[in-house]
Structure 1
Amino acid sequence: MADMALVAPFTVAATIEKATALKGDAAQGVPAGRTRYFIEAHADALIAGRAELPEIIRYLADLPTSKKTPKLKGQQVLLLAAPGARPGEIRLIGPKAQIARTTADETRLRAILKAAIAPDAPPAVTGIGHAFHVAGSLPGEGETQIFLKTPDNRPISLSILRRPGETPRWAVALSELTDASAEPPAPETLLWYRLACGLPRALPQSSVDGLQPNDATIAAEDYQTVLKGLGPCRGGQKEAISTPTP
Structure 2
Amino acid sequence: MNNRRYIDFLAKMGISSAHPGGKPLTEALFYHVQLGENEKILDVGCGTGETSFYIANKYRCDVTGIDLHPEMVRKAQERSKNSSVPFQIIQGNVEKMPFKEQSFDKILSESVTVFTNIPVTLKEYCRILKTGGQALAIEMTVEKPLEEKDAQEIQNLYGATKLLTVNEWINEFNQAGFSQVDVIRGEKIIAGPQSISDVSTFNFSNHLDLEAFEVWWDHIQLMDKYRGVLGYRIYKAIK
Q: TM-score band (shorter)?
A: under 0.3
In proportion to residue count, which structure has more helix? 2
TM-score, length of structure 1 as denominator length: 0.21
| Bigger-Rg structure (1/2) | 1
In proportion to residue count, which structure has more strand? 1
